[in-house]
Amino acid sequence: MTARREASAPPRLPGYEFLRVLGLGGFADVFLYQQELPRREVAVKVLLAGSLDDEVRTRFQSEANLMAQLSHHPSIVTIYQAAIAADGRPYLVMEYCSRPGLAERYRHERISVAESLRIGVRLASAIETAHRAGILHRDIKPANVLTTDFGWPALTDFGIAATTGHGAGATVGMSIPWSPPELLGEHPTGDQRSDVYSLGATVYSLLAGRTPFEIPGGQNSAQQLVARIERSPLPPTGRDDVPVGLQHVLERAMAKDPDRRFTSAAAMGRALQAVESGLRLPVTPLDLPDGDEPAEPPLVLPSAEPEDATRVRSVVTLDPHGGRAAPVTPVAPDADEPTRLSGVHVLRPDDAAPRPSAFVVPDEPARGTEEERPTASRRTRVLAGAAAAVVLLGTVSVVAYANLTGEPPPRTSPSQDDLTGDAPQVTGQVVPAPHSLKGVAQADGSVVFTWVNPLPAEGDRYLWAVRTATGEPTPQLADAPTVTVPADQAPGGQVCIEVSIVRADRSSSTQPAQGCTS
Cis status, amide bond into 38, omega within 30 of 0: yes
Q: Answer yes or no: are the C-beta atoms of 286 and 266 closer than 8 Å.
A: yes
Amino acid in position 479:
D
Cβ proximity of 193 and 260 under 8 Å: no
Give the amino acid at 114: A
Enumerate the active-site residues: 138
Residue pair 341/28 in contact by the 8 Å Cβ criterion:
yes
Q: How far apart are CA 43 and CA 477, in angstroms?
A: 56
| Separation between Cα atoms, residue 207 and residue 118, nearest integer Å | 12
Burial per residue of 13-51, b for 16 or more beta-carbon CB atoms within 10 angstroms, e otherwise? beebeeeeebbbbbbbbbbbbebeeeeeebbbbbbbbee
Q: Alpha helix (H) ranges present in 353-415?
A: 380-405
Q: What's phi and psi for 371, nearest 5 deg?
A: -65, 140
CA distances from 182 to 82, 101, 346 (A): 33, 28, 19
The answer to whether residues 191 and 197 touch, using CB atoms and an 8 Å cutoff, is no
Q: How many CB atoms lie within 10 A of CB 390?
A: 18
Bridge-partner residues for 91, per DSSP? 46, 83
DSSP letter for 16, please.
Answer: E
Q: How far apart are CA 30 and CA 251, in angstroms?
A: 35
* Euclidean distance between CA atoms 211 and 209, whole angstroms: 7
Could you count the other beta carbons within 10 Å of the beta carbon of residue 386?
Answer: 22
Residues in the chain: 518
Q: Decide: 70 and 94 in contact? Cβ < 8 Å.
A: no
Task: Give the span between the Cα atoms of 254 and 260, in whole angstroms.
Answer: 9
Helices (H), 171-221: 192-208
Q: How far apart are CA 92 and CA 75, in angstroms?
A: 18
From the CB of residue 183, how many other CB atoms can be counted at a distance below 10 Å? 21
Residue 356 CB neighbours (<10 A): 8
Q: Where are the beta strands (DSSP E) in 329-481?
A: 345-346, 435-441, 447-452, 461-467, 476-478
Closest C-alpha to 42, from 98, 101, 94, 100: 94
Q: How far apart are CA 473 and CA 497, in angstroms?
A: 9
